[in-house]
Structure 1
């Protein structure tokens, strides 16, 4: 289970609506053109993609996911966070999840939002650097593989 879960997150596609076009970000891959589009969309230094959908990797009905997405957008508007729509899916296009790309927000805040919506992980990056996978739960550290050493575990 652990290896397949990590593989699913690492091979997923993360699309960010930058207004002029959607850019695809993939974990571990530097993309100057995507960085330029993110910069034009309002990102100054860092970004993070989170979704409120399918908490804990449990598939919910579309109506439940839509309600969770509305709650996330409402919270972001209340806090005044700069963000753009995002969309994640498995490499084969399955397991679609709408979400958001947050700009220039501290990792601690991102992890708190991801945890509030019961997400296991999120993807984040800095302009000019490759995106990385970040786990939100301490359970990950106890898993039986050491392949996660490049993934950051953030405890707040």
Structure 2
């Protein structure tokens, strides 16, 4: 039984390392604003939040549920479902993507969701079968929220 916990712990650490090394990019009209989870202060990102009058946010994808790699078509379908969910719930959001800095996996389309709380972020992550989501508050360091 202990072996299963050790293996699980190793998997979680690898996932966490991948999330921490990911470059999160938000698409804003003709430009892009990027951040990492470990960013202490990101003036460009805080300025974006101010522009949208947002104090909290989450960065969420519906792609590759529980890190299972899916086809582009299936990921696109899942992203459409997430977009419809956010629109129906009247969330303000922008398109984005998560880029693997090591280049081991392709960028995942995502959404930056404004004015959402940590619990809502976690719920959406669980609904769309994600291991984790990124949550943050303006002027504060982003954090990884585990959904499982």
> Normalised by the size of structure 1, how large is the TM-score?
0.82
For residues 46-89 of structure 1, the C-alpha deviation after alignment (integer angstroms, 9 at most, x for no partner) is 11100000000010000000000111111111111111111002
- Offset of 1:9 from its aligned partner? 0.8
Matches within 5 A, 1:6-155: 6-29=16-39, 30-40=41-51, 42-93=52-103, 94-137=105-148
Q: Which structure dedicates a bigger proportion of its chain to helix?
A: 2
Separation in 1 of the partners of 2:84 and 2:12? Answer: 33
Kindly provide the CA deviation profile for residues 78-134 of structure 1, in whole angstroms up to 9, marking residues without a partner as x.
Answer: 111111111002113433100101101121111111101100001111111111111
Could you say what secondary structure the match of 2:125 adopts? helix
For the aligned residue pairs, the C-alpha RMSD in angstroms reads 1.3
Q: Give me the whole-angstrom Cα distance separating, in 2, the residues matched to 1:65 and 1:43.
A: 30
Structure 1 gaps of 5+ residues are 138-156
The alignment of Structure 1 onto Structure 2 pairs a total of residues equal to 136
Given that 1:18 and 1:38 are in contact with CA atoms closer than 8 Å, whether structure 2 keeps it comes out as no
Q: Which runs of 5 or more residues in structure 2 are unaligned?
A: 1-10
- Do the aligned partners of 1:15 and 1:25 also contact (CA within 8 Å) in 2? yes
Confirm whether residue 5 of structure 1 aligns to residue 15 of structure 2: yes
- Runs (4+) of structure 1 exceeding 6 A deviation are none
Secondary structure of residue in 2 paired with 1:9 = helix
